[in-house]
Amino acid sequence: MMFKCLVGALCFLFALHFSAQDINRFNKKRERTGKWITYTDASHTKKLSEVKYRNGNVVGTAKYYNTEGQLERVEKKRRRKIKTAIYYPGTEVIRNKGNARIVVTDEKIHYFFYGKWIYYSEDGKPFKYVYYEKGQIVKTEYADKNVKLNDSLIGLLINLDDQFKKNHAQMIDSIAYSWSSPKLAEKFRRRIYEKDSSSFAIIEKVFEKYGYTSKEICGENASIIPFFIMNYAPLEMREKYAEFFKAAAGTGKLDKPAVAYYIDKIKVAKGEKQVYATQFFMDKDRKTHYYPCEDMKTLNERRASMGLEPFNP
């Protein structure tokens, strides 16, 4: 009996030894081959990837996990096509699926979506179909025909916003700290424009094509981006769009108080009387002084029309 147990134990250890050798192996050329499993932690409790290789190339089905060890995406490689499914974190519900491709050149490795991708809600129902060409969105169709969101425009604005903030973070902060000195704020705005006139040119083209970027086509977050960026344009460009933004506020596409501040900043920067009495400065004794304002008798009527409280200096 003891002999049989000993033989069994030896067989188990022998099998365990060779099964372990079958994972994370290299061939004679030091290329990955066979099944590879990587982990995010030293105790090997959270997988990072589970991939099969042949001569250093991924073949068959590959699974990738997030830093918490939750399934993130599954890829099935068939020649140049990579059938991909991306999951909602911590679930087995597919968030979106479609085809991807990898193109390798001497300069870079380019991974991108192409063709039709299906996007699903968390209850597993498709809610939109996005068409890609080399990673760029070319068309979006929603299951609900009443939805008018433009995904390609949303993507453009979000990327523009990210780059703008990244490139100009220091000067944006400087403008915020220069709120009581219009001339100094204009100086920083001019520097931003000289460094990044392309961002403002893109915004102008967006306005030409779509008018003001409403929530209906750009969603809650992206719709405000053009107005945000235009606040950092030089004086003449901001003045050009003052009435445009005021009209957008009048139709509910833009926040009225924000436009009132926008207009008053332009007026003060030009040395003119402000319209809504939103701009002020403090003297050395920390006493507040409002810049001159036109027609004080009807001020509160104008403020009310822009969603502002009655003037109370």
Q: Does 128 fall in a domain?
A: yes
Q: Does 290 fall in a domain?
A: yes
pTM over 0.75: no
pLDDT for 11 equals 46
How is the chain classified by DSSP, letter by letter? -HHHHHHHHHHHHHHHHHHHHTBSEE-TTS-EEEEEEEESSTTS-SEEEEEEEETTEEEEEEEEE-TTS-EEEEEEEETTEEEEEEE-TTSS-EEEEEEEEEEE-SS-EEEEEEEEEEEE-TTS-EEEEEEEETTEEEEEEESSTT----HHHHHHHHHHHHHHHHHHHHHHHHHHHTTT-HHHHHHHHHHHHHH-HHHHHHHHHHHHHHSS--HHHHHHHHTTHHHHHHTTS-HHHHHHTHHHHHHHHHTTSS-HHHHHHHHHHHHHHTTPPBSS---EEE-TT--EEEPPBS-GGGHHHHHHHTTPPPP--
pLDDT for 3 equals 44
Same domain, 53 and 75: yes
**Bridge partners of residue 112, in order along the sequence:** 101
Structural domains of the chain, count: 3
Same domain, 211 and 269: no
**Which residue shows structure tokens 């207009």?**
263
Region of residue 274 (phi > 0: left; psi between -120 and 50: alpha; otherwise: beta): beta
Same domain, 105 and 198: no
Q: Does 114 fall in a domain?
A: yes
Q: Does 7 fall in a domain?
A: no
Full residue range of the structural domain in which residue 279 is found: 262-313
pLDDT for 18 equals 40
Q: Does 14 fall in a domain?
A: no
pLDDT for 21 equals 52
Same domain, 137 and 153: no
Q: Does 15 fall in a domain?
A: no
Same domain, 109 and 188: no
Neighbours of 33 (CB within 10 A): 19
Same domain, 107 and 38: yes
The CATH number linked to 135 is: 2.20.110
Tell me how far apart the alpha carbons of residues 94 and 87 are, in angstroms, rounded to a whole number. Answer: 4
Same domain, 123 and 217: no
Same domain, 31 and 65: yes
pLDDT for 141 equals 87
The predicted-structure confidence for 202-260, as pLDDT tens digits, reads as follows 999 999 999 999 988 998 889 999 999 999 999 999 999 999 999 999 999 999 999 99
Same domain, 85 and 184: no
Same domain, 67 and 42: yes
pLDDT for 16 equals 42
Q: Of the candidates 142, 176, 207, which is a domain's last residue? A: 142
Same domain, 136 and 177: no
Residues of the chain with pLDDT under 50: 2-20
Burial label for 87, CB within 10 Å (0-12, 13-18, 19+), is buried
Q: Of the candidates 231, 254, 277, which is a domain's last residue? A: 254
Q: Of the candidates 109, 142, 175, which is a domain's last residue? A: 142
Q: Does 199 fall in a domain?
A: yes
Q: Does 17 fall in a domain?
A: no
Same domain, 135 and 34: yes
Tell me how far apart the alpha carbons of residues 185 and 192 are, in angstroms, rounded to a whole number. Answer: 11
Q: How far is CA 158 from CA 76, 79, 202, in A?
A: 30, 34, 13
